[in-house]
Amino acid sequence: MNTEIYNNLRKQIDNSVFTGWQGLFVELINLYNLHDDNQFLIQDLTLRCLERRGEFKQLHGLLNILISELGLFPYLDPDLMTSKDSIRMNIFKSPIAGDITFHLKQAEIYYRIVNGDNIVLSAPTSFGKSLVIDALISSEEYDNIVVVVPTIALMDELRKKFSKHKEKYKIITQSSQEPATKNLYIYTQERVLECKNLERVDFFIIDEFYKLAPLNTSDYRSDRLNLAFHKLFKMCSRFYMLGPNINGLAEGIEYKLNCDFVKYDNYKTVAANEYRYIIREDGNDQAKDIDRDAHLANILQKIGQNEQILIYCKTPKRAASLVKKILKLRENQEIRKGEFSDWLRKTYHDDWSMADAVERGIACHHGRLPRVVSGYVVEAFNEKLINILVCTSTLIEGVNTNARSVIIYDDCIRGTTQLDSFTFNNISGRSGRMFEHFVGDIHVIGRKPSAELPWIDVPIVTQDDSASRPMLLSIIDELSTEQRASLSRYTTQQYVPIALLNKHLGVPPERIIKFAESLMEKCGAWNSIMAWTGKFPSSGQLRHLCNIMFDHFAISRMGGGCVKSKKQLFYRVLNIVNRKEDKELIQSEYDFWSPRNTEYEIDDAVQSVFDFKRNLIGYNLPKIILAISDVQRLIFSRFNYRCGDYAAFAHSLEAMFLPPSIVALEEFGIPTRVAKKIYRISNAGEDATVDLILEKVKSHPGLYTSKFDDFEKTLLNRAIQYL
């Protein structure tokens, strides 16, 4: 089939008054029987026919023939199956409970893996790559499986999706959870590296494997994913890696890893319509946004108010701003008062625009939102309680929704860095959904990237120029003499041993060395203010620690620039030590900045508090404090000075000065306020594990749900069903 024939047939199918279905099916079957290289075009047209299947019920038998021959077995109408179809359905039945059938290519991947092959799969979003994971778990071939995902959002989705396996496997998402006999670990790359009790692995999976290739020379997330892969591969040589369309793997990787790269560029289970909208090329960003907003308003008006729509933005701040713009477009829409919007106001702030937006079926999703909020927003969207979801790549990367339409509002990943082709494919692939929307719509505002797909390197394997020095430092014992020479900046310095640098992954080694050098010079002057231990430093000790972090560890670049000075860092950390609630933190932030900036709004304060808590308190600061603690112990001991120990403070800060199990419960969809009550009701001790508290809740759900208001009961009941 050539492009001209495809376009003519597609026009017929897309024509709302078209009725010549019988002739069209005969032509499609004849074209299929030619067995040329364009079978994917026939598959695309067949999917478009499925979207209109209600208009030709008497011809479903012909459609079934096409579906069966193309290997789209899940779409077969069981009432019209031939004996040949029935045999195929039995052959392609997956081990997943509930009569789940593979399509042709899923079955190929699954059986190659269970027969011993390691597969790196590149395929479109709608391929159904994660169904293979589900089947591998269902097969019970492996006792200990590790699934590595890029985001907490995807970790949460898979935890819920795979909760059906909880009778066979203990599902572990926290690095502090103790393993059982059979375990399914669902971890981010950071948690793989943190986990101390990952003693046996029989099979591991890396989702969105393209993130192994670094974006630049300081892509620390890529470094950590490479190191996580390295750790797992040393424990187990059996794996499955999956991701969106790419060109291939860098030379030598398949041989070194004993794996096969499998590429199905065009095997899709959902078709897509693509629409382009041009914006001015000259002018500043503000002028270009005027064009974007005009296009967006027209697109939303054409789509209407009842369709599920995902809108991609490049940053959390852009997402929050766009929600307010859409809110203005829909200000005349009927307000749907609900428990969720009331809870947002009560928990965070009365004037947070997200609460107003939710009442009009609009919400945003990004990595800085509290996990309870982001998790509920996805569920509400899939249940059609929300119909417009503005999101960043955190949701796009792997989380499935029921969106028919995807609008790419920003044509950049961040700043002015243009979307590359495989990120674009990943975003656009979120349009449509099997069995619900056979055809999705993609609206691209601005430039579409070129069709050229990248080659993916795995620098921990190739150890070429794309491998960062800090990452190579972590495996220095495995490097050749020549490769070690490239690390001389670390190996020849006398301030900090290599083992200490490698202990603190995620903290740039250059910054640790520079701080150690500075501390050597000020050792005597700083000792008295730094030689402290315990959970609660004095005001002066905390201020000095904050000064060190700000001066030596680039705090102002973290969390979207939410900390602008040493003084601000000190007071914000002090607020966490004093256990101030989010609502109080947000109001305090607004009260400080609004007199200094007339354009500062409550939404800015909300975003700043979320950025600080998620990015700095929840991740960066504890790691930096632990590194500082080790450096001061090292330097002070050299001069026989008294040493401090900040470990208790760092761990308490990461847990918001609450028992760690309370903070951990948020990842299971339980808000901190609810978790605190559960903790009290359960009579748990300070060192109670999250497993212990979850078991108490699971064993006596009624005891706990009766203590909360309606929305909190809803959240708790949702959480309990996946425990």
Q: Check whether residue 236 and residue 297 sit in a common domain.
A: no
* Residue carrying structure tokens 């079978």: 39
Reduced to 3 states (helix: H, G, I; strand: E, B; else coil), residue 337 is coil
Sign of the four-CA dihedral 670, 672, 674, 678: positive
474 domain residue, yes or no: no
What distance in Å separates the CA atoms of residue 505 and residue 598, rounded to the nearest whole number? 41
Give the pairing type, strands 309-312 and 271-277. Answer: unpaired
The percentage of residues in the chain with a pLDDT greater than 70, rounded to a whole number, is 100
465 domain residue, yes or no: no
Do residues 678 and 704 make contact, with C-beta atoms less than 8 angstroms apart? yes
Asked if the model's pLDDT at residue 628 lies above 80, the reply is yes
What distance in Å separates the CA atoms of residue 148 and residue 58, rounded to the nearest whole number? 47
Q: Which of 599, 624, 654 is the last residue of a domain?
A: 654
37 domain residue, yes or no: yes
pLDDT in tens, 483-528: 899 999 999 999 999 999 999 988 999 999 999 999 999 999 999 9
Q: Which amino acid is at 369?
A: L
Do residues 399 and 377 make contact, with C-beta atoms less than 8 angstroms apart? no
Q: Check whether residue 684 and residue 635 sit in a common domain.
A: no
Q: Check whether residue 121 and residue 158 sit in a common domain.
A: yes
The confidence band for 398, taking pLDDT boundaries of 50, 70 and 90, is low
Average the pLDDT over each of 89-103, 423-437, 691-705 and give the range with the smallest value.
423-437
12 domain residue, yes or no: yes
Asked if the model's pLDDT at residue 425 lies above 80, the reply is no
Reduced to 3 states (helix: H, G, I; strand: E, B; else coil), residue 161 is helix
Do residues 600 and 594 make contact, with C-beta atoms less than 8 angstroms apart? yes
pLDDT of residue 457: 95
Do residues 371 and 667 make contact, with C-beta atoms less than 8 angstroms apart? yes
* Strand partners for 276: 444
The confidence band for 450, taking pLDDT boundaries of 50, 70 and 90, is confident
Do residues 609 and 582 make contact, with C-beta atoms less than 8 angstroms apart? yes
The confidence band for 412, taking pLDDT boundaries of 50, 70 and 90, is confident
Number of domains comprising the chain: 5
451 domain residue, yes or no: no
What distance in Å separates the CA atoms of residue 62 and residue 76, rounded to the nearest whole number? 11
pLDDT of residue 700: 86
The confidence band for 549, taking pLDDT boundaries of 50, 70 and 90, is very high
What's the whole-model pTM score? 0.93
CATH number, residue 418: 3.40.50.300
- Mean pLDDT across the stretch 400-421? 83
Reduced to 3 states (helix: H, G, I; strand: E, B; else coil), residue 646 is coil
Do residues 551 and 604 make contact, with C-beta atoms less than 8 angstroms apart? no
456 domain residue, yes or no: no
User: CB pairs under 8 A, 24+ apart, for 583-588?
Assistant: 583/346, 583/347, 583/348, 583/349, 585/609, 586/348, 586/349, 586/352, 587/349
Extended strands (E) in 317-426: 362-365, 388-391, 405-408, 412-414, 417-418
Mean pLDDT, the chain, integer = 93
The confidence band for 468, taking pLDDT boundaries of 50, 70 and 90, is very high
pLDDT of residue 505: 86
Q: Check whether residue 202 and residue 325 sit in a common domain.
A: no
Do residues 79 and 39 make contact, with C-beta atoms less than 8 angstroms apart? no
* Strand partners for 414: 417
pLDDT in tens, 289-346: 999 999 999 999 999 888 999 999 999 999 999 999 999 998 878 788 889 999 999 9
Asked if the model's pLDDT at residue 3 lies above 70, the reply is yes
Q: Which of 56, 91, 126 is the last residue of a domain?
A: 91
pLDDT in tens, 222-268: 999 999 999 999 999 999 999 988 899 999 999 999 999 999 988 99
471 domain residue, yes or no: no
Q: What are phi and psi of 74, to 5 degrees?
A: -60, -20
Q: Which of 263, 285, 314 is the last residue of a domain?
A: 263
pLDDT of residue 215: 82
Token pair for 92: 């392609």
Pick from 234, 143, 160, 161: which is nearest to 193 by CA? 234
Q: Check whether residue 535 and residue 570 sit in a common domain.
A: yes
Domain range holding 540?
A: 489-654
Neighbours of 140 (CB within 10 A): 12
pLDDT in tens, 37-53: 889 999 999 999 999 99
Q: Check whether residue 78 and residue 121 sit in a common domain.
A: no
Residue 188 burial (C-beta neighbours within 10 Å; 0-12, 13-18, 19+): buried
Asked if the model's pLDDT at residue 152 lies above 90, the reply is no
pLDDT in tens, 46-75: 999 999 999 999 999 999 999 999 999 999
Token pair for 471: 């990452």
* Strand partners for 144: 183
pLDDT of residue 200: 95
pLDDT of residue 488: 93
CA 197 to centroid of chain Cα atoms: 24
Q: Check whether residue 650 and residue 712 sit in a common domain.
A: no
Q: Check whether residue 493 and residue 639 sit in a common domain.
A: yes
Q: Check whether residue 401 and residue 426 sit in a common domain.
A: yes
pLDDT in tens, 156-210: 999 999 999 999 999 999 988 999 999 999 999 999 999 988 989 999 999 999 9
pLDDT of residue 428: 80
637 domain residue, yes or no: yes
Q: Check whether residue 249 and residue 389 sit in a common domain.
A: no
Extended strands (E) in 208-268: 239-243, 248-249, 260-263
The confidence band for 144, taking pLDDT boundaries of 50, 70 and 90, is very high
Q: Check whether residue 401 and residue 494 sit in a common domain.
A: no
CA dist 192 to 154, 178, 185, 477, 662, Å? 15, 14, 9, 21, 22
Q: Which amino acid is at 33?
A: N
* Strand partners for 207: 242
Q: Check whether residue 519 and residue 428 sit in a common domain.
A: no
The confidence band for 572, taking pLDDT boundaries of 50, 70 and 90, is very high
CA 251 to centroid of chain Cα atoms: 28
